[in-house]
Amino acid sequence: MKRALLVFILFALVALVVPPPRADAQGVTAVISGPTAVAPSSIHKYVIHVSGGPASHRGGGTYQIDYVVQGDSVTGADPILPRTLANTQGNFTVNVTAPQNEGIVQLYVKAKSSNATANDTADTRLTVYVSKPIDLRATLRNLGAATATNVTVLFYVDDKLVGNSTVGRIAAGAQVDVNITYIPVELAVGQHTVKVTADLDRDGIIEPERGELVQSDFFYKTEHSTLPAILATVTVFILVILVFVLLAIRRQRRQG
């Protein structure tokens, strides 16, 4: 009985000497936010958030990052040698230049959280697709008798939505060009179709019989060679006729 009591007392002493784990003693983590599809040689902002680790303990500390662009072809990219930033908040905004050639690269970040007595590290990567942009353009002409307002135009490549634009006003008899810049990601080699829809009456329903659905032209993607992998600019001219069928039907009924 005395031996059991002695063991219990020893456990109690150990519990008093060794403090329980701190609630804020979490490992360091790093998260990268920013575009994952960019044009060659373009410059973009990326936000890197570092949290946890010794710098998050009472008394604070320092967060540090080393960031660099990595990949098989990083010519023209920046930075291609690790660049270091540090602060006490853990929030960083950096400018990154994409390589001059198409391909897949990674933004690599090594993060460190430290205080006067300890430090902890972690790393993370963001995959970025570098591809020549494609310009998709539609010409909208209002052949109706009334002004069309707030017309939403949606652009699809191979039936996948790739962008949209809203036209505020198209007067009767007028026309307007609408375009978006599309950066293809993992687009297969070969022919691809472009489709454009315009919700003319803003009812949320695309009605092909009213000219709201138009199947347009196509473009090709080729293998990597001395020629551009994708045509730098593909312009698709689409004629969308804004005819208010219901009004026409009503006029015919009145005349009849």
Domain ranges of the chain: 29-130, 134-221
Average pLDDT over all residues of the chain: 79
Average pLDDT over residues 229-245: 39
Residues 135 and 235: their CA atoms lie apart, in Å, by 6
Q: The tokens of 173 are what?
A: 């008899």
The answer to whether the beta carbons of residues 212 and 206 sit under 8 Å apart is yes
- At position 240, the amino acid (one-letter code) is V
**Cis bond before residue 79 (omega within 30° of 0):** yes
- C-alpha R_g of the chain: 30
Q: What is the pLDDT of residue 144?
A: 72
Query: DSSP string of 40-85?
Result: TT-EEEEEEEEE-SGGGSTT--EEEEEEEEEES--TT-B-SS-EEE
Bridging pattern class, strands 134-141 and 175-182:
antiparallel
Task: Say whether 134-221 and 29-130 share the same fold.
Answer: yes
Residues 4 and 6: their CA atoms lie apart, in Å, by 5
Task: Tell me if residue 237 falls in helix, strand or coil.
Answer: coil
Q: Between 206 and 38, where is the model more confident?
A: 38
Q: Which CATH superfamily is domain 134-221 in?
A: Immunoglobulins (2.60.40.10)
pLDDT digits (tens, 9 = 90+) for 69-79: 999 999 999 99
CATH 2.60.40.830 fits 29-130, yes or no: yes
pTM: 0.70
25 confidence band (pLDDT: 50, 70, 90): low
8-state DSSP, 209: G
Q: Between 119 and 198, where is the model more confident?
A: 119
What lies within 8 Å, CB to CB, of 159 at 6+ separation is: 193, 195
Distance of alpha carbon 157 from its chain centroid, rounded? 17
Q: What is the pLDDT of residue 170?
A: 84
Q: The tokens of 114 are what?
A: 């430290």
Nearest to 48 by CA among 67, 70, 69, 61: 67
Which of 5-19, 159-173, 184-198 has the weakest average pLDDT? Answer: 5-19
The neighbour count for residue 153, using CB atoms within 10 Å, is 23
Residues 256 and 253: their CA atoms lie apart, in Å, by 5
The answer to whether the beta carbons of residues 69 and 112 sit under 8 Å apart is no
pLDDT digits (tens, 9 = 90+) for 188-230: 878 888 888 887 666 777 777 666 666 666 766 666 533 333 3
